[in-house]
Structure formats: C-alpha cells, structure tokens
Structure 1
C-alpha cells in the first residue's frame, strides 16, 4: 500500500459525500419512499413503521412523558405512536420559522393519531407555544427524536446540512433543559462508517433501524446552548425563534464588539441595554441617537441600521462597550464592574491601536482612564493618553434619556471627526 493510499483510507468523508452515498444506496436498493426526490431532505424509507415499533420497546421511550420529534416524513410513525401511547408531542416548525407545536394526547380523538402527526394537519390538534412555555417546568421533555440522512454507530450524525436539529436541541438547553437523550430512526443503508463532527453537531445516543437497536455510547458532546457568536443576521431573519430566544434571555446575551487593528476611531458605550442585547447589535434602542449622530457628523455616508454595525471598519471605525453584561440601565452596574471593564478596555486599545477612542459618557471615560468615579471630566479631547499613542475624546451618551441637547452632542461628534481629519493631514 502506498502512503497516499493509506491517507485516503484513513480520511473521513465529508458530510456531503456521506449524504450522496446514502441517497444513492436508498435509490438503488428501492428502499426510499415518498416524498421524492429524496435528495435535500431527511429521506423516508421502507420499514419506518417497524423502526418506530422497535423504538417502542425501549425503556428510554417507555418512561418518556413528552417527546420532541422532528417534523420530517420518516419520523411520522414515531409521532403518531407517541400520541397513541399517551405522550405529549412537541414538533418544531420546519426550518424554525415559528414556534414549537405542542399536541397533547387528550386533544387527539382515538384513531386520529396519524392524522394529527402529519405536518399538514398537526396544527388542527395542537397549539403553537411561545418559548417561555418550553422551559422545563412547563414542558418536561424527556426524549428527543431527530431525523438523519447518515449516522455512524458511535453517534455522529449528518442531517440535511442546514443545522436545524442542532439549533432545536441547543434552544432547549438555553431554556434550561438538562442534557436529553437523542434517538434517530433510519434505514440500515443510512449507517456509514465515519463522519466529521463539528462542535455544534447533535450526536445520537440510540440508532434504531427496522431490525436493530444500536446503543452508540457516543463520545461526542451535545450542544449546551446556541453558539451565538456564529449566529448571523441572516440566521435571525430566517429563524425568528432565535430572535424570540434572545428577547427572552436578553440578560444573558452579549453584543459582539467590532474591533480590528488600525482603526481611525473606536466608539465605546457603557454596556448593552435590553434592545441591543436582544438584537445582538450596538445602540439598537429605537430612540438611540448614535447612528444618526455618526452620519450627521460625517463619519459614515448614511444612517446605518444597528444590524449593519459590522460594516463600520469600512470607514475606519469600531465599536465596543466598557462592560459586556446587558442591563436595564447604568444603575444596575457597580463601579467595581466599570473599573474592571475599563482596565480590560485599555488592554484592547493597546492591541488594536486606533488613533482615537471616543468614550460615550463621563462614567465611561472615568472607567477607561482609571479615574475616581467622581473625578471632574470635561467634554471633548482629553489631555492625557491612558494608552500611549491613542488619543481620548469624551462625548455624551447617545441615549435619548441623556439631558445633553442633541445640538451639543452633534457638535462634539463633529469635533471628534475634525480632530481625525486634522490628524490624518498632519
């Protein structure tokens, strides 16, 4: 065997390659069932009912009072079986475009369980519940059934490739659910030898086929929550439930800072408020004046939306906060917290080295400069450099609650802009 052959033998196929192989196997064996084409979906398979019946034999299923089951066709027999067995069914909206649907067995007439479990009919029997009602005390879910395109005997799983099952499980963990066991029902041809595993992937504890139960003893950890740093604005638009979750858990949310080396100016706020924490973007309050001030002072060519804060480096600008923790207001922060945040902020400015740091609020400036909480501060350019080579400028908070008139705030923003222009010509 050549060295290259040895490398190829040990290589882990991509998830997409595994999906193509599984789709090919199912087609060639005549094991796939409606809906067609099977590509791009969790494939339905011959024997899905037998796999569900085999799942019914397991203690992990028998003791479950409520199940979260994916809405795909191959798990329809599992959903119908759960309702027939007197279990509450939670079914996520496809592509997480909306809330979870809860169907209680007492609301389904005997004999209509399969109809109630169909995606197109389920809403007639259940109720869409807000995330607050999915907390463990309101929705004690005991078992998760996830669809799969391909799965390994040690619990690695590949879905359609869009990550919805991963998000659904992580969402439950964010709401306070403990680590829940995960089962999948598949055709034997969907078993593959190896799959790559990413940190956000949902692993499987039990694989059930029409003829076999595989207890994976998976070594792969399950998601403990949403990896918010990887959630994009497009994700929030496509999956409104994520925005709902941020709004529900806003006090645990942070706002990513926009910092890269060599910026002209970095604007520093106090800490995220509720609106910014919910949105995941800076100065997102509906009445916050930051984006208007930034434009009218000439820093940017138009009024940006908060969700466009990631564009600021195009104009040599960055934005961050003294304290990353979200609160209703300044009164919820201690001076020790602000002072500690100021020390961290100085370290950041020493790394990225903007020409100017604009501190939005006197307490923000005091914290950054390492001053006493009652030290006298005047608006405008400051005589000191807390970080050598980085000039400092104190400007009022852009919040609508500030008592500083808008005209004065705009004048100071323009003064900061003029200082940068003069510095660049020097």
Structure 2
C-alpha cells in the first residue's frame, strides 16, 4: 500500500473511544504515517504496541492494524493535538494547551477510569506542570485518574523497551 505522507500533513486522526473505558491512552499528536493510514502509533519504530503488550494490557502483541480490538479490552486511543505533523516539536505550546482543554472535555464525556498520556514533555507543556514525572499524577482530569507514561517513539532513547513495558505494567497494576 502506498502512503501519501504529504497529503497526511494536518489531517485529523479519529479517536478510538467508548464510554467507561479502563484506560484512555493519549498520544501527543499523530505522525504523518498514522494519519495517512488512519491508525494510531502506526509507524514501525513506535514501541507503543510492544509496551502495551509487555505491560499486560493485550493478550498478544498487537499492531496498529489491530487497534479496533482495544475497545473490547476497555482501552481507547486519542491525542492531545489531533492534527498530524512530521514531528511533535512542530506543535506550539498554545496548541498543546488547547489540546489539554479538549482532552479534559473528552474525559468528561467518556469517563475513562484513567487517562494515560504518553509523553511527559508534552504533558508538562499542555497542562503547565513543569516538574511532572512519569507515573500517577496527583490531580484528576475530569473525574479520571491521570497517569503519564514515557513517549514510546523510537526517538526516545531514555527508555528502552523493557523499561517502557515496566512503566505500562505499573499503570496496569494500578487498575
């Protein structure tokens, strides 16, 4: 399948949502490949799917093509900023803050038990929490617990896959 990445720029990637999810995973924003394919965390170097499995959320290793199997497991997907870009650093602080407002509205409507944001730097900017760390946050988002996970992008060298899996497993154990 040919993928037109130029046409994917600024395209919106639909959320994968249902009411009463256990966890709503929230990326920073879709990459061009994800927007072009209509699948979250679709680029092959993204470690979201392996971390999700290592963390105990899925019965087998899923890929982006399996994303529709998440809802029956009580898991959903969204992004702070819904528009696609080549890199997350193309987003402005104002866009991220507006995304925090949107994410709060989504949490109010769908009421997941936990909103898990994958990307501590984006979380710090979007929610104006300069000293936030990975893990459970003290504040809520709407009535949902708030959790911050490491960014699963292959560009995040601070976390290797086993450590990502451990961070996801900590969230899973908290449920």
TM-score past 0.5 threshold = yes
Name the structure 1 match of 2:85: 327
SS at match of 1:382: strand
Could you report, residue by residue, the CA deviation over 1:315-342 in whole angstroms, capped at 9, with x for unpaired residues?
0000000001111112211000000011
Name the structure 1 match of 2:153: 399
2:10 and 2:83 in contact (8 A); partners too:
yes
1:297 and 1:414 in contact (8 A); partners too:
yes
Deviation at 1:376, TM superposition (A): 0.3
Could you report, residue by residue, the CA deviation over 1:241-260 in whole angstroms, capped at 9, with x for unpaired residues?
xx54x434010422211011
**1:346 aligned to 85, 104, 112, which one?**
104
SS at match of 1:267: strand
2:54 and 2:166 in contact (8 A); partners too:
no
SS at match of 2:146: strand
- Structure 2 counterparts to residues 2-401 of structure 1, below 5 A: 244=3, 246-367=4-125, 370-372=127-129, 375-387=130-142, 389-401=143-155
1:342 and 1:367 in contact (8 A); partners too:
no
* Aligned pairs, number: 174
Q: Which runs of 5+ in 1 are unaligned?
A: 1-239, 421-426
1:269 and 1:364 in contact (8 A); partners too:
no
Measure the CA separation in 2 of the matches of 1:330 and 1:371.
Answer: 17
Deviation at 1:415, TM superposition (A): 0.3
SS at match of 2:138: coil
Deviation at 1:365, TM superposition (A): 2.4
Could you report, residue by residue, the CA deviation over 1:186-240 in whole angstroms, capped at 9, with x for unpaired residues?
xxxxxxxxxxxxxxxxxxxxxxxxxxxxxxxxxxxxxxxxxxxxxxxxxxxxxx5
Deviation at 1:411, TM superposition (A): 1.1
Moved over 4 A (4+): none
2:164 corresponds to 1:412: no
Larger radius of gyration: 1
SS at match of 2:21: coil
2:123 and 2:148 in contact (8 A); partners too:
yes
Could you report, residue by residue, the CA deviation over 1:52-96 in whole angstroms, capped at 9, with x for unpaired residues?
xxxxxxxxxxxxxxxxxxxxxxxxxxxxxxxxxxxxxxxxxxxxx
Name the structure 2 match of 1:204: none
Deviation at 1:403, TM superposition (A): 2.3
After superposition, the CA RMSD in angstroms is 1.5
2:21 and 2:112 in contact (8 A); partners too:
yes
1:346 and 1:386 in contact (8 A); partners too:
yes
Measure the CA separation in 1 of the matches of 2:15 and 2:125.
Answer: 18
Q: Which runs of 5+ in 2 are unaligned?
A: none
Deviation at 1:367, TM superposition (A): 5.0
Give the alignment's TM-score, normalised by structure 2.
0.93
1:268 and 1:364 in contact (8 A); partners too:
no
Measure the CA separation in 2 of the matches of 1:255 and 1:342.
Answer: 17
1:262 and 1:353 in contact (8 A); partners too:
yes
SS at match of 1:249: helix
- The one of the two structures with greater contact order (alpha-carbon pairs below 8 A, sep at least 6) is 2
